[in-house]
Amino acid sequence: MCGIVAYVGPKEAYPILVKGLKRLEYRGYDSAGIALYNEGINIYKKKGKVANLEEFIGDQSVVGQIGIGHTRWATHGKPDDTNAHPHYSGNGDLAIIHNGIIENYAPLKEALINEGHTFHTETDTEVLIHLIEELQKRDNLSIEEATRIALTKVIGAFAIVVMDKKDPGKLVAARKASPLVIGIGDNEFYIASDATPIVEHTNQVVYLKNEEIAVLTDKGEFSLKTIANIDQTPFVQELDLKIEELEKGGYDYFMLKEIHEQPKTIADGMRGRLSAEEGWIRLGGIHEYENKIINANRLIFVACGTSWHSGMIAEYLIEELARINVEVEYASEFRYRNPILSENDVVIAISQSGETADTLAALEMAKEKGALTYGVVNVVGSSIARITDAGSYIHAGPEIGVASTKAFTGQVTLLTMMALSLAHKKGMIPKSEFSRILAEFENIPAKIEQLLQSCDSQCQKIAEQIADANNALYLGRGINFPVALEGALKLKEISYIHAEGYPAAEMKHGPIALIDENMPVIVTATNMGSYEKIVSNVQEVKARKGKVIAIVFEGEQEIKKMADYTIEIPKTEDMFTPLLTVIPLQLLSYYIALIRGCNVDQPRNLAKSVTVE
Ligand code: M6R
């Protein structure tokens, strides 16, 4: 949701900002812009991608050692050149970039108009910079003090960087609810929404905490306080991020790279956490709270999108294996519906980014009501990782493609370990059985590797046959029902084909009306417990001339006879099948989107990290 990058130091800022914006483009790509100080503040901005901005700048001289850059995901105001960031203040002395939403911008704007301010854009951000200007002018304040006081008057979420032509050589950065990280170089500072634009310059970083404001100068000075005006000491951390993880590594798209990384990322997520030989699972974060979790009234998973699908898989697994009550909630609903929560509940947030606004807010509410909070997160040091009482990282590495792939399987891996560990602790799985299950779990990365080899060209061919469809139906039963939801989400978000995921038996309660010869129906048919029932579901689809693409275990014959296409996955325990069945669904979506000419990594209207409601 909007990417922010800024630089102050001895180097030319423009190349640093443009490269940084490219790294951040996955956060939003409606427009891009840059402001540089060079005897005044010069703003360059353009609708569309960073490449459009570069083309627009062309041969213009872009000089300055202090600058701010922004790539936008539009909230207030359409995506166009005018609404693109940075924004000037009314007198043109100040410039701002902003990620987030100023919810009370309307009354603030009205008050400022009454003071004589004129606005040129539809954005909430322009209101904020006018407010800063007004406070600065009225009380003759420094830029940092005017910014700090302005931020006490706004409601909403923000990460901002402000520059002042009257006080060049200084950047003011602040955050509330939206992330911001500061990289510390040699008499220079980098500011960004996440560490991806910073890692090639320095590995020394400070993650701004909620409601903190920092002042950074070209003399190497760094001061920090809260917006409430209490001095703070910056906590410098070492970044654990490699540049190669941010590159496409020979693949055409990040999504394809990330799909192929899954054998490794799943193995990374398991490393040091389980041993089949010795028969144990140890999730560092959970250890201290294991008794509390086992004896909890309920485990409530809160998440959005793909992460919510992982939560549903956790529900099937934990209830089945550990016999603990589980609920799964959309974070956006949970936070507003005044749920009944007590100290005996455990609220577990699942989030790739660790920054999703609704998930964060759901956690804050859970904390207020006294529940224990736990985070299952990918991005190290993210807000969710920091505000939860305990948690476990999935260790999938940076996920850049907007469509989540390796984070999903990383989450499912971790949640499967959690379910098995709780079941084991409760004595629900005999020791020898536990070791056998873990041995199979350890085989999953190799089985995914094998599957990626065996199904890739098949997925391409099937994609060619169904890429023209207007609708698609995904069916699954039990633990593979959430996988059907995930398959449908993958298809719609990157190929813009309308797709629905359903529990297979629900089909006859409505969706069956949609089935005709133009409707691809993708059925996951690996659940051994309900295999015969899925066979019946496939027959029902075929009787209505639907085109069946079935995902089955290798060697399966019955469905193969009926289906138009079958994709075989290696045999495994039912509980591990989501880690395998999702792979062809990811590849199918990828190839369909490619055939339809869609931008796989940057689908329209979407952004990777949803830091606004
Ligand atoms: O970072 P999070 O896991 O909290 O993000 C949640 C959703 O926004 C995310 O999973 C979204 O649905 C993806 N685009 C799905 O591919």
For each of the domains in the chain, give its residue range(s) and CATH number, in order of start. 3-245 (3.60.20.10), 268-442 (3.40.50.10490), 450-603+606-610 (3.40.50.10490)
| Ligand 1 centroid from CA 415, angstroms | 17
582-608, pLDDT tens digit by residue?
A: 999 999 999 999 999 999 998 888 877
Quick one: what percent of the chain has pLDDT higher than 70? 100
Residue closest via CA to ligand 1's atom 4 equals 351
In whole angstroms, what is the distance from residue 106 CA to residue 84 CA?
Answer: 19
Catalytic pick from 109, 447, 492, 608?
608
Residue closest via CA to ligand 1's atom 11 equals 305
Q: Which amino acid is at 585?
A: L
| Ligand 1 centroid from CA 567, angstroms | 27
Tell which one of 352, 358, 380 to mutate to probe ligand 1, the residue whose CB is within 8 A of the most ligand atoms. Answer: 352
Ligand 1 atom with least separation from CA of 356: 4
pLDDT at residue 240 in the model: 82
Residue closest via CA to ligand 1's atom 7 equals 305
- pTM of the complete model: 0.85
4-29, pLDDT tens digit by residue?
A: 999 999 999 999 999 999 999 888 88
| Ligand 1 centroid from CA 408, angstroms | 9
Catalytic pick from 2, 304, 455, 459?
2
Active site annotation includes 2: yes
Asked if 174 and 112 touch (Cβ cutoff 8 Å), the reply is no
| Ligand 1 centroid from CA 354, angstroms | 10
Question: How is the beta sheet containing 212-217 ordered, strand by strand?
Answer: 87-88, 94-102, 156-164, 170-176, 212-217, 222-226, 231-232
Kindly give, in sequence order, each residue whose CB lies less than 8 Å from that of residue 341, ignoring residues fewer than 6 positions away: 300, 347, 365, 366, 369, 370, 371
Ligand 1 atom with least separation from CA of 359: 4
Q: What are the pocket residues of ligand 1 if the criterion is a CB atom closer than 6 Å to any ligand atom?
A: 304-307, 351-353, 356, 359, 402-404, 489, 493, 609-610
Ligand 1 atom with least separation from CA of 608: 14
Residue closest via CA to ligand 1's atom 8 equals 305
Collapse the DSSP code of 37 into the 3-class scheme (helix H, G, I; strand E, B; otherwise coil) and give the result. Answer: strand
Ligand 1 atom with least separation from CA of 404: 16
| Ligand 1 centroid from CA 405, angstroms | 10
Tell which one of 610, 612, 613 to mutate to probe ligand 1, the residue whose CB is within 8 A of the most ligand atoms. Answer: 610
| Ligand 1 centroid from CA 572, angstroms | 27
Place of tokens 């404001």: 213
Ligand 1 atom with least separation from CA of 405: 16
In whole angstroms, what is the distance from residue 65 CA to residue 218 CA?
Answer: 9
In whole angstroms, what is the distance from residue 530 CA to residue 517 CA?
Answer: 26
Kindly give, in sequence order, each residue whose CB lies less than 8 Å from that of residue 571, ignoring residues fewer than 6 positions away: 553, 554, 555
| Ligand 1 centroid from CA 330, angstroms | 12
Active site annotation includes 304: no
pLDDT < 70: residue spans in the chain? 529
* 435-460 burial code (b ≥16 CB/10 A, e <16): bebbebbebbbebbbbbbeebbebbb
Tell which one of 254, 258, 307, 351 to mutate to probe ligand 1, the residue whose CB is within 8 A of the most ligand atoms. Answer: 307
pLDDT at residue 160 in the model: 97
Tell me the C-alpha to C-alpha distance, in Å, between residue 138 and each of 115, 183, 202, 257. 11, 33, 39, 54
| Ligand 1 centroid from CA 34, angstroms | 28
In whole angstroms, what is the distance from residue 410 CA to residue 352 CA?
Answer: 9
pLDDT at residue 318 in the model: 97
| CB neighbours of residue 113 within 10 Å | 13
pLDDT at residue 451 in the model: 97
pLDDT at residue 513 in the model: 87
pLDDT at residue 438 in the model: 97
